[in-house]
Structure 1
Amino acid sequence: MSKRARLWRATAGLAALAVGAGTVPATAAGVRPGWVVAVVDQASRRVLVVAGAEELTGYRGPDEEPVVWSWSADTAGDLGDLDPRRSWELPDEAKSRVRDGRRYLVATASGGLAALVDTGTGATAWAVDTGQLANPHSAELLPDGNVAVAASGGGWIRLYAASLGPRATAHAEYRLPGAHGVHWDQRARLLWALGDDALTALRVGGTAAAPALTAERTVPLPEPGGHDLSPVLAEPGRLWVSTAGHLWRFDPAADRFTRVRLGSEGAERDIKSVGDEPRTGRLLIAAPDHAGPCSWCTSALTLHRPDGSWRLPGTHLYKARWWPSWGSGA
């Protein structure tokens, strides 16, 4: 087994799973549609999509690891012009989005890269290098094919006219100190943006070729340090918001934050990503474990409802996302 082969250990009755280092095809034979997990591993500089715990029976060697799909800008042949050795440094986002029946990976890296990747072909549909100082932390695909990017170092939300082509750089910009998260709410047709101290609803105007962003309203956070922003899938329209100290559920209808208690103060602190799986109610959380070389990463993912953990020794995980209906086009 190679040095980069990893073994996930599951506790609280969860099965073990392992992730290998080799490149895997865009789809894996025998993997049925269902909820899987994507992790951003800064050690291997890859996004890894792995089968859900209920589908696993244990580690059986590197040729039988339950990796559904993997991607890295380092091995993407169509990204050489954007210097991925620099721009893909410290990858920090991996979202699954479907548009026109095709599934895409929406990815960013602190080194400056933001990319939209067709998971069926592995081809990059769009990418931009925002520069190292911008420190992109999240991105979102909009229905018209454009891509919103949140950059904490740059202090902005940009809506790139990605629909114009694979290297389109035209964009609208909204200034937001500490911009860390961005999410498109299809029901309200609003682009939600999370910064250090506020959650802002942005109205998208203009055209696909020349987009515009206008703040519709801004809601102060209950405490500073906004980090992750994601939809509450079991309650459409509501949002998960993590801050430096706690986890919150936000109700846009009332502009109200409700604290979500996870059993201990420590479990609620410095959450890098959070998401729920509607069919089981499980929460998947990534937060620093302070056991590795970086203060912001972890080698363990935490589950709540029911509680448990998945360990991947040797990795530097930053975020983890549930990916719904893998292979079904949904």
Structure 2
Amino acid sequence: MPRRTLVGLCALLLCAPAAGAYAVEPGWAVAVVDQGSRRVLVLQSAEELMAYRGPDRLPVVWSWSADLAPDLADLGPATTWTSPDEAKSRIRGGRRFLLVTASGGLAAVVDTTTGATRWATDAGAAANPHSIELLPDGNVAVAASEGGWVRVYTASQGPRATAHAEFPLPGAHGVQWDRRTGLLWALGDDELTALRVGGTPAAPALTAVRAVPLPGRGGHDLAPVLAAPGRFWVSTLTALWQYDTAAGRFTPVRLADRAAERDLKSVGDEPGTGRLLTVAPEHTAPCDWCTSVLTFHRPGGTRVLRGTHLYKARWWGGGW
């Protein structure tokens, strides 16, 4: 397949509607990665968050930290859980799992009902793990930005399995399984790559089947467009895009505030409402890459969670 990028002529317009244009029921909760408290915090729904005025009490309904997980003591969370940077919800076999990574090296899959760790490893602080995905066979994919790789660990073989297949990808920041294509998609500094996971659960293999240059440098977040299966949200340093896997085309996304399209650490849409949730750093001390602000689009609005150092925010729902 030619290595080329097709940029759509028409942008997707995601501007805030007129007042009263949306009448929705409370939807999915919101999970945030708070580097300040070293916790994953599951918050109330967007509607409930918009009613939150704080700062007396954060609207937290559930939380998790590797610091408080006894079964992770062997992996030294005091150092490996430094700067947590990813939190995803996945549902398998009727159970919800929390998927996390941290720049300190930890990658883990946690059963949210029992709090037990299903699988975990220390990939090393030098690798800077940045995203994680649970595959259908129980194995786990991890993307590491400084390591410049995507790995599939044989998590199906045991809770501390470290054997893995590795694919080099400079600046690997995002990884997502797409059940429609049966491919593992990975986002790097300059390229979106589709990988076929072959071999066996005990001995996986990774082969690139598509490599698409990004329309801008600095790929950071990769997330499924839940309202349009077969598409991905892709954030770069200066813009927000959707990538259509069938058409092989990037389309720029236009927000009501053009500045809000830049330097996004995370992006995702809520099914049923069309609401978009983004997080971008404030570039202030003590955490230059963090923020205390959640930003919603369509309908628009922000919520300041005082005292937090947020890195990413995800909708807490679904079983894709």
TM (normalized to structure 2)?
0.89
Question: Contact 2:26–2:47 (CA<8 Å) still a contact in 1?
Answer: no
Name 1:216's counterpart in structure 2. Answer: 209
CA distance in 2, matches of 1:153, 1:60: 37
Amino acid at match of 2:297: H
CA distance in 2, matches of 1:37, 1:292: 25
CA RMSD for the aligned pairs? 2.0
Counterpart of 1:148 (choices 141, 144, 155) is: 141
Name 1:130's counterpart in structure 2. Answer: 123
Question: Contact 2:44–2:59 (CA<8 Å) still a contact in 1?
Answer: yes
Q: Does 1:93 align with 2:86?
A: yes
CA distance in 2, matches of 1:59, 1:135: 35
Question: 2:74 aligns to what SS in structure 1?
Answer: helix
Question: Contact 1:59–1:65 (CA<8 Å) still a contact in 2?
Answer: no
Structure 1 residues 135 and 243, CA, compared in 2 at 3 Å: closer, same or farther? same
Question: Contact 1:96–1:104 (CA<8 Å) still a contact in 2?
Answer: yes
Structure 1 residues 65 and 133, CA, compared in 2 at 3 Å: closer, same or farther? closer
Name 1:286's counterpart in structure 2. Answer: 279
Q: Does 1:54 align with 2:53?
A: no
Question: Contact 2:293–2:305 (CA<8 Å) still a contact in 1?
Answer: yes
Amino acid at match of 2:141: A
Structure 1 residue 301 displacement after superposition: 1.0
Name 1:167's counterpart in structure 2. Answer: 160
Q: Does 1:45 align with 2:38?
A: yes
Question: Contact 1:292–1:298 (CA<8 Å) still a contact in 2?
Answer: no
Question: Contact 1:36–1:323 (CA<8 Å) still a contact in 2?
Answer: yes
> Could you list the per-position Cα deviations for residues 249-269 of structure 1 after superposition, in whole angstroms to 9, with x for gaps in the alignment?
000111110000113332111
Structure 1 residue 292 displacement after superposition: 3.8
Query: Whose RCO is larger (CA < 8 A, sep 6+)?
Result: 2
Q: Does 1:84 align with 2:77?
A: yes
Name 1:191's counterpart in structure 2. Answer: 184
Counterpart of 1:243 (choices 218, 236, 239) is: 236
CA distance in 1, matches of 2:252, 2:55: 42
Name 1:28's counterpart in structure 2. Answer: none
Question: 1:322 aligns to what SS in structure 2?
Answer: strand
Counterpart of 1:111 (choices 89, 104, 108) is: 104
TM (normalized to structure 1)?
0.86
Structure 1 residue 65 displacement after superposition: 5.8
Structure 1 residues 61 and 215, CA, compared in 2 at 3 Å: closer, same or farther? closer
Structure 1 residue 66 displacement after superposition: 3.9
Question: 1:173 aligns to what SS in structure 2?
Answer: strand
Question: Contact 1:40–1:47 (CA<8 Å) still a contact in 2?
Answer: yes
Name 1:69's counterpart in structure 2. Answer: 62
Structure 1 residue 312 displacement after superposition: 0.6
Structure 1 residue 59 displacement after superposition: 6.4
Name 2:132's counterpart in structure 1. Answer: 139
Q: Which moved more, 1:45-54 or 1:141-150?
A: 45-54
Amino acid at match of 2:275: R
Q: Does 1:303 align with 2:257?
A: no
Amino acid at match of 2:43: V
Q: Does 1:253 align with 2:253?
A: no
Name 1:317's counterpart in structure 2. Answer: 310
> Could you list the per-position Cα deviations for residues 10-57 of structure 1 after superposition, in whole angstroms to 9, with x for gaps in the alignment?
xx99xxxxxxxxxxxxxxxxxx99510000000000000111032466
Counterpart of 2:227 (choices 234, 237, 240) is: 234
Question: 2:79 aligns to what SS in structure 1?
Answer: helix
Number of equivalent positions: 297
> Could you list the per-position Cα deviations for residues 251-294 of structure 1 after superposition, in whole angstroms to 9, with x for gaps in the alignment?
01111100001133321111000000011111000101224422
Question: Contact 2:279–2:291 (CA<8 Å) still a contact in 1?
Answer: yes
Structure 1 residue 61 displacement after superposition: 9.6
> Could you list the per-position Cα deviations for residues 107-139 of structure 1 after superposition, in whole angstroms to 9, with x for gaps in the alignment?
000000000000011110000000110000000
Question: Contact 2:280–2:290 (CA<8 Å) still a contact in 1?
Answer: yes
Question: Contact 1:161–1:210 (CA<8 Å) still a contact in 2?
Answer: yes
CA distance in 2, matches of 1:287, 1:61: 21
> Could you list the per-position Cα deviations for residues 132-168 of structure 1 after superposition, in whole angstroms to 9, with x for gaps in the alignment?
1000000000111110000001000000000111100
Amino acid at match of 1:242: S
Question: 1:86 aligns to what SS in structure 2?
Answer: helix
User: Which sections of structure 2, spanning at least 5 residues, go unmatched?
Assistant: 1-17, 20-24
CA distance in 1, matches of 2:283, 2:138: 38
Question: 1:79 aligns to what SS in structure 2?
Answer: helix
* Runs of at least 4 residues off by over 6 Å: 59-62
Question: Contact 1:234–1:281 (CA<8 Å) still a contact in 2?
Answer: yes
Amino acid at match of 2:263: D
Q: Which moved more, 1:104-113 or 1:262-271?
A: 262-271
